[in-house]
Amino acid sequence: MPRAVDSMRLPLAAALKDAVFAALIAFGLFFFLIGLRTEQGPTGALQITTRLPALAMLVGAAFAGSFLRALLFGREPIRLGRTLPPALTRIAERAGRYAGLALLAFALLVPVLFYHDRYLLDLGIMVLTYVMLGWGLNIVVGLAGLLDLGYVAFYAVGAYSYALLATTFGLSFWICLPLAGILASFWGVILGFPVLRLRGDYLAIVTLAFGEIIRLILLNWQSFTGGPNGVSSIPRPSFFGLPFVDEAGGFASTFGFAYSPTHRVVFLFYLILALALVTNWVTIRLRRLPIGRAWEALREDEIACRSLGINTTTTKLTAFAMGAMFGGFAGSFFATRQGFISPESFTFGESALVLAIVVLGGMGSQLGVAVAAFAMLGGFELFRELDQYRMLVFGFAMVAIMIWRPRGLIATREPSVYLGERKAVAGTLVQQGRA
Amino acid sequence: MEYFLQQLINGVTLGSIYGLIAIGYTMVYGIIGMINFAHGDIFMVGGFIALIAFLALVAIGVTAIPLALFLVLLIAMALTALYGWTVERFAYRPLRGSFRLAPLISAIGMSIILQNYVQIAQGARVKPLPPLITGGHTLIASESFNVQLSNVQIIVVVTTLALMAAFSFLVARTRLGRDMRACEQDLKMASLLGVDVDRTISLTFVIGAALASVAGIMYLLYYGVIDFYIGFVAGVKAFTAAVLGGIGSLPGAMLGGLLIGLIETFWSAYFSIEYKDVAAFSVLILVLIFLPTGILGRPEVEKV
């Protein structure tokens, strides 16, 4: 009888003891917050109602869960494999080369396959927006290793740039798009300067504060941004000058189609797909350039980086500017798609969502980010009825990923520089956010 | 002048609350070098537990306010401490030895969990509580402006001072305090010398959460309303306070809390109330640029 395995598991009595302990803890945690509920009564004063079944269920679940865990795993922490086993990794690596292409082909075909399903097209546009945001943030977090919790600020700058330029000066989307990118990257540099000297988590908090400042200014500067009412009737995009309207000179009549409102949706879909692919392509190309290598070197070791004569100031600033620029592009796309924006769309939760996509996908892995955006937003849509629970699940997912798969879904990375043969390496060999 | 004095009193009260929260940040950062992003939400949970416990006590017939408040204080401190322990145990302890940003991301997840948990369990609406402690003293009466010092303000400041004194004693004089200081200097060396590091870290979270729950009660008494979202903004401000005072330093946390409270109050009083949060967040950025070690902090030497 192999004793090593046995000693992990606990005898029944000890397991029971653990379970009772867990149930007590659960009772303490949930008694006031779940077991009792406060509601405003008719007089306006708070009244208390009990909700004992829910409390009993949670305590019971804690008891049962802890009991089973103690019997099956003992008190050792449960370890799922932090990376896939080598054989699987090799298969995944081979599949990964084609998975990207397959996903791209699928994305290109979505408007053809689901032409009549407006809901799916809208969902696709949303997923692609987050893919683009994820890829943009990946430059800052995944490549340069700078944790940015205020990424949504650049998204907001892009959105408001387009919205205000278009509604005030009547500039078209195609002129505003580069302007929005430039403005956003300008703000990226402004944020970048003060945080140059900061290390990982200080940096994170400052970027968070920055994001909140931008949101609060958008909220309170009523005369400029419209305050909480936001900016409405933002011009919709045109097909390079041909508007999507049902009249002569519109897109449909110029090309001799019957007019359909879906044309615009399909155009928006291909537009965001193109923007996202540009982001991806630029990132892949940049990784081969000295600046991209400097980013990755910075992520691995800032001191070594400096010792080798890399200018860390410009390296960090370009990373912020580049990431911010793509955030700005995505923002102006968001504005033109929605036709209406308000500060509510740019809260910290949004930054956390984009960050979660990047982290879940595996920081630095382009394919992983796309898969994660798809999984996360698809999951949100699937559980739409459980609307109030989805942020809760989202929070649990973030914690669980950090515990069990801190390197994300795609745990291998393609090194930019290699000796001899080119092959993927385990994500654990890559530093994350030490800078 | 009267107006200034009144704002000074308000600022000190607010600053005491921030200071109590800031201690949790500064201790955790000092010992394991992570920003406990969920700490602000622990403060919110503490406030909620206090509110519900108070209503429950009134419902079962404890109507003497001083007794009820004392019991609420005990209940909230104990249960919020339990939250602190649980969060550390499940979200942070498994990550010790993981890469540097893992605990921070996990903490962000935990913060989202706590906010949404309270929102689902207790509803998203603002919860009002009628003022329990009323009355006050008029310090200066003039025809234009009366300077008021309310009893709530006295209680907030006195409680904060008492807790600070008790906590300073704990850190300076007790076995646990010595363990904590040892862990702060060198985790590995402390464990080699027989300090139970896991236990010390757990207790740090427990104490931090208990202090945050007191801050939650003070907030509830002072403002009379609470909602599930107060933890986020208060958390960032308290973290700012911890950084401003010098992270890792206990008097620094208190000093930073006072300064942030004063800055926020004076900013609201003399400039614009809409931008008070912007002022506090800007202070954080400015401090980190010009004074990254804070007022009472030690410079950190980065080793290769």
What is the pTM assigned to this prediction?
A: 0.86
Length of chain B in residues, anyone?
304
User: By percentage, how much of chain A surpasses pLDDT 70?
Assistant: 86
Closest CB from B99, B101, B292 relative to A197:
B292
Give me the interface pTM, i.e. the ipTM.
0.86
Domain segments of chain A: what residues? 3-73, 93-237+284-429
Whether B283 maps to a domain, the answer reads no
Q: Which residue of A has its CA nearest to B286?
A: A194
Whether B81 maps to a domain, the answer reads yes
* CA-based nearest residue to B106, from A150, A393, A398: A398
* CA-based nearest residue to B19, from B217, B157, B226: B157
Residues 157-196 of B with CB under 8 A from A: none
Please give the tally of structural domains in chain B. 1
Whether B146 maps to a domain, the answer reads yes
Closest CB from B94, B109, B281 relative to A212:
B281
> Highest-confidence range of A62-66, A168-172, A244-248, B110-114, by mean pLDDT?
B110-114
- Residue A307 — φ and ψ, nearest 5°? -65, -30
Q: Rounded to whole angstroms, how far apart are CA atoms A137 and A124?
A: 20
Residue B239 at interface with chain A, using a CB cutoff of 8 Å: yes
Whether B213 maps to a domain, the answer reads yes
Whether B289 maps to a domain, the answer reads no
Residue A368: count of CB within 10 angstroms of its CB = 28
Alpha helices per DSSP H over A339-386: 348-361, 366-382
Whether A77 has a pLDDT exceeding 70, the answer reads no
Q: Would you say A362 and A427 are in contact if contact means Cβ atoms under 8 Å apart?
A: yes
Whether A422 has a pLDDT exceeding 50, the answer reads yes
Are A399 and B56 an interchain contact pair (Cβ–Cβ within 8 Å)?
no
- What ranges make up the beta strands (E) of chain B? 127-128, 136-141, 146-150, 225-226
Q: Rounded to whole angstroms, how far apart are CA atoms B294 and B26?
A: 12
Mean pLDDT by 10 residues, chain B (304 residues): 88 93 90 88 94 90 86 94 94 84 87 92 86 80 80 91 91 91 88 92 94 93 90 89 86 92 91 84 83 76 55
Distance from CA of A396 to the nearest CA of B (A): 6
Whether B241 maps to a domain, the answer reads no
Are A201 and B53 an interchain contact pair (Cβ–Cβ within 8 Å)?
no
* Fold held by A93-237+284-429: ABC transporter involved in vitamin B12 uptake, BtuC (1.10.3470)
pLDDT tens profile A373-414: 888 888 888 877 777 787 888 888 888 888 887 777 766 666
The bridge status of strand A425-426 relative to strand A412-413 is: antiparallel
What mean pLDDT value characterizes chain A?
Answer: 82
Whether B87 maps to a domain, the answer reads yes
Residues 281-300 of B with CB under 8 A from A: 281-282, 284-285, 288-289, 292
Q: Which whole number is the average pLDDT over A168-191?
A: 90
Residue B104 at interface with chain A, using a CB cutoff of 8 Å: yes
Are B109 and A398 an interchain contact pair (Cβ–Cβ within 8 Å)?
yes
Q: Would you say B50 and B220 are in contact if contact means Cβ atoms under 8 Å apart?
A: yes
Measure CA B173 to chain center. 23
Whether A184 has a pLDDT exceeding 90, the answer reads yes
